[in-house]
Chains A and B, each alone.
Chain A
Amino acid sequence: MARLKYASDMDKSVLLNNFETRGWVPVGPDDDWNFYWANVQSIRNVFSIDCGFRLTDDQVISHFPNHVELTRKDLMVKNIKRYRKDLDKEGNPLAEKDENGRYIHLDFIPQTFMLPADYNLFVEEFRKNPNTTWIMKPCGKARGVGIFLVNKLSQLKKWSRDSKTSNFTPPTSKDTYVISKYIDNPLLIGGKKFDLRLYVLVTSFRPLKCYLFRLGFARFCTVKYNASINELDNMFVHLTNVSIQKQGDDYNNVHGGKWTVQNLRLFLEGTRGKEVTDRLFDEMQWQIVHSLKAVAGGISNDRHCFECYGYDIIIDDNLKPWLIEVNASPSLTSTTSSDRIMKYKLINDVINIVIPPGQVPDVRWNKIPAKEHLGNFDVLYDEELAQQDVMGGDPRKLGPGTFRGKRDGSRPSPATWK
């Protein structure tokens, strides 16, 4: 068993327990580590032009250098919009639109504008439908900080002033916001709103190799959902972030408001039927893959990097999923004991996929993990294997994994995902 050296910016037990079980040796980030679980600031240092350093072939690190293309709200939206336009220009059937101009297959983010840059465009859209609610999210923050709901233009006075100024200093990340159409018809279960947290591991962007963790969960609000105008300020009703819900009176420490994806699936299949549930889950996977393809061109595909993203998805009451955002550093704090077990398994499986167990990392390897190392991950999309398959090749191809692990004839075949 190779005694690898690890560095970690975070003191989380789910990380450290995994390292210790493997008999790895802790070293500092400046030493010769094999495995570095870094936070986003360290990544900037490692890859910075001035003070960065070259990584050797036996070093892997837990972020891609410019992951912000996916994980910052404004950049994600920009990339997805550009991706769709490109597909449209080349006449790809994926970019097909309906009679209202909405994308049929690629409509997975709510309508979004950047502020202050797109303020006027936003106002035009807002005036078309003045009774809708929008959600304002600061670009550079996380965990629900700074988010508020808007249903009157007067609430955005600040940005209207900013957009009228004629100087061209680009706003800093502190000032930019995205404003998205608020999904005011979320699917409610037990009368409460929830969102989904799914973990996606990416080991390479070109070719795209991504894996979906089966043990995702739904985060429930503690308060019954109420779409009325009076409750727009009540963040307990609208925001599902655990950091916010934790402060509510009814927060429960035993379950933490978290429900497994399996229970969600059981409930939906039992109450709504298997076909629509399968379609929902397939669509979520479809959205994840396309969101990754949208940024694949722009992310620097450093072989030393892998990343475990936290995808946040909301399901509306038509059983359509919406991609809300992607987190580069999903929380590894455990709120309940089941949570701790799940996150431990997550890190365990991530490590096993990134470094085949018992070996020293070698970034030149083909990055095709053996089936028994996947653990609770399913292969979501492996572009390399999919291409081989088209050319009549590799019998080891696992196929775009679905939650069901088998192909459903009604889904588009892998070929259309290129």
Chain B
Amino acid sequence: MGDSNYSKAYIQTLIDELKTSKIYTDLQCAAQVEIAKPTLRLSELKKGVLNGLVNSGWDRKLRNAIYRFLQTHPKLQFPSPPPEHLKEPLVFLRKAQQAWEKRILKSLNSMCTDLNIPLARKRPEKEQKEWAQKWTELGIDGPVHFEKTEPKDASVKDLSQFRPVYAPKDFLEVIIGLQNPNYHGSDTPGFYHLWGIVQVPLKVKDIDELRLQYSDMSINQCQSGIDDAQDIPSELFEQERVKLGKKVINTNHGPLAQEFSKKGCPTSMRATLWCQILAVELDEIDILYYEQLKTNVLQHDLLVDSLLYKDVKLTATNDDQYFVFEDFLYQVLLPFSRDTYVLNHFDYNSASPPKSYIRGRLGMDEFAVNYPPNGVIPFHGFAMYVAPMCFLYKETITLYYVFREMYVRYFFRLHSISSHPQGIVGLSLLFESLLQTHESDLFFHLKSVGCQPLKVAFKWLVRAFSGYLSSDQVLLLWDRVLAYNSLEILAVLAVAIFSFRKTNLMKVQSYNAAEAVLADLTTLQVIPLIQLSLFSK
């Protein structure tokens, strides 16, 4: 076949994976149906069956399945690297991630001992029944005991003793401390002089590469989110865009949806487009799987549940854009932490799932379990990854699968230490280098008044701007993350925001003043800002 892009081994992996998935059996059944058709001639068996399958849309489904595989499996190099290199090729970063994980787990365990709550426990029958009833309104009481005799104060006290395991600023401290042991950047200024606080010299894109990458967003191209606004006559852009969008949706082809979304998704089509790009198509098995996860939640109470509950209460419930969806967040996050499918992503994530041990069997590997079952310990603000998507999906099950896919493809990179250009370290470095190169006077001024720009922008990056921008803008931004398959746009936007508020920032004389200038981003329109920043120098 001579396809030079993909090695034989890669294609074989693809075929093996497809053979074990549902689409294989479905295709076989469909082929059987085709063969049984009386119009089929024996002399043209293969051609006839293939045509029949194509006509009934099976080639599209197969293409989508392959597309999904391509998106989640990076091309293998030859010779194939050992598994820990797939996670993270640089040893010192791998070690740093492991050290960070140890710290988090230690913090979790000590909270456990202090509060005398087990990491996991089985719920008594009565409590399970109560949870089943209250499943759609967990926002009221949450994961505390439902015994009616317990005074309300006691439950409130319980929750206040839970602290988030870590917050973005703790993580930033760790990143600042990263040092490549082969590289001396100390007293004598070398040829590679970094103003910022990230000391790891990773390769990041420069502005020309970004302009090429995001060329579909250039100023001379109409974009959803600007050119289909209310006060612009719809004949100019919106009508054509909507017509094209309908055509794209009807073909149900992932790459096509992705290409279309490069200029943003019309609001009413976004939900479907995201599903197509992420190849989320729910069938009965998926529904059953979610129900199984829900049963797991009802049967066992995890300490992590309280952390998630507290996180929702601190973030989304206090947010005037997302408070409405509070109950949905529990219905997504609690099953999420029991979903072992998520463990697959650790193959390409520098992080590893924390391990815990059955009571009394500390250190014995046979009794080690992943804790939580999906291997992801939530931090302060985790719930905000889900919140913007509540504007798109009113059935929790679709919301669940879309969120899960977004997490294992993109969001995990925002809180693990890795050398991947889209990892949080790479994004931070990209932000700093772009700002230093293109707004050097601003960077220098801020540095000299004691405000490192990354210290303000870091929380935006970790949360992918959720909760900082207004909800429609977050969705427009995430359109581009999906369409260009890259988180780099987050760093570009962060730089654009600093540029936009440059006049006021040049006047500040302290870190707090700088933070105040950048505190409220809810009035910003992200697409024009990105366009200005990338294409108008």
Residues of A within 8 A of B (CB): 189-192, 220, 223-224, 250, 252, 254-260, 262-263, 266-267, 269-274, 277, 336, 338, 403-406
Chain B residue with Cβ nearest A217: B320
- Distance, CA A31 to CA B112, complexed state (A): 70
- Distance, CA A373 to CA B321, complexed state (A): 29
Given contacts A255-B319, A270-B391, A406-B234, contact A192 B268 (CB under 8 A): no
- Nearest-CB distance from A73 to chain B (Å)? 28
**Contacts beyond the supplied A224-B136, A252-B318, A270-B270: 16 A-B pairs with Cβ under 8 Å:** A190-B326, A191-B136, A223-B140, A252-B323, A254-B319, A254-B320, A255-B320, A255-B323, A257-B323, A259-B323, A270-B392, A271-B271, A336-B320, A403-B230, A406-B230, A406-B234
Flag if A269 contacts B267 (CB, 8 Å): yes
Chain A residue with Cβ nearest B472: A266
22 A–B contacts, CB within 8 A, in A order: A191-B327, A192-B324, A254-B318, A254-B320, A255-B319, A256-B320, A259-B320, A259-B323, A262-B470, A266-B471, A267-B391, A269-B267, A270-B270, A270-B392, A272-B268, A274-B242, A274-B267, A277-B268, A405-B230, A405-B231, A406-B230, A406-B231
Which residues of chain A are within 8 angstroms of B267 by Cβ–Cβ distance?
266, 269-270, 274
* Docked complex: B287-330 residues within 8 A CB-CB of A: 317-321, 323-328
- Distance, CA A103 to CA B475, complexed state (A): 40
Flag if B268 contacts A224 (CB, 8 Å): no
* Docked complex: B227-284 residues within 8 A CB-CB of A: 230-231, 233-234, 242, 266-268, 270-271
- Distance, CA A404 to CA B268, complexed state (A): 15
Given contacts A190-B325, A338-B320, contact A250 B270 (CB under 8 A): no
Which residues of chain B are within 8 angstroms of A254 by Cβ–Cβ distance?
318-320
B137: CB under 8 A from chain A? yes
Flag if B140 contacts A250 (CB, 8 Å): yes
- Distance, CA A277 to CA B268, complexed state (A): 10
Flag if A263 contacts B471 (CB, 8 Å): yes
- Nearest-CB distance from B459 to chain A (Å)? 18
- Nearest-CB distance from B437 to chain A (Å)? 36
Flag if B324 contacts A189 (CB, 8 Å): yes
Interface size on B, residues (CB 8 A): 34
B393: CB under 8 A from chain A? yes
Which residues of chain A are within 8 angstroms of B63 by Cβ–Cβ distance?
none
- Nearest-CB distance from B300 to chain A (Å)? 25
A-B contact count (CB 8 A): 80
- Distance, CA A333 to CA B317, complexed state (A): 23
Which residues of chain B are within 8 angstroms of A406 by Cβ–Cβ distance?
230-231, 233-234
Which residues of chain B are within 8 angstroms of A224 by Cβ–Cβ distance?
136-137, 140, 327
- Distance, CA A263 to CA B321, complexed state (A): 7
- Distance, CA A270 to CA B471, complexed state (A): 12
- Distance, CA A220 to CA B318, complexed state (A): 14
- Distance, CA A388 to CA B233, complexed state (A): 23
Given contacts A267-B391, A270-B391, A406-B230, contact A259 B268 (CB under 8 A): no
Chain B residue with Cβ nearest A253: B318
Chain B residue with Cβ nearest A194: B324
Flag if A255 contacts B271 (CB, 8 Å): no
Which residues of chain A are within 8 angstroms of B137 by Cβ–Cβ distance?
191, 224
Which residues of chain A are within 8 angstroms of B325 by Cβ–Cβ distance?
190
Flag if A259 contacts B324 (CB, 8 Å): yes
Chain A residue with Cβ nearest B140: A250
Interface centre among B137, B267, B324, B393 (most CB of A within 10 A): B324
Which residues of chain A are within 8 angstroms of B233 by Cβ–Cβ distance?
406
- Distance, CA A257 to CA B321, complexed state (A): 10
Which residues of chain A are within 8 angstroms of B231 by Cβ–Cβ distance?
405-406
- Nearest-CB distance from B38 to chain A (Å)? 41
Which residues of chain A are within 8 angstroms of B392 by Cβ–Cβ distance?
270-271
Chain B residue with Cβ nearest A223: B140
- Distance, CA A260 to CA B324, complexed state (A): 11
Chain A residue with Cβ nearest B268: A274
Flag if A273 contacts B268 (CB, 8 Å): yes
B361: CB under 8 A from chain A? no
- Distance, CA A267 to CA B319, complexed state (A): 16
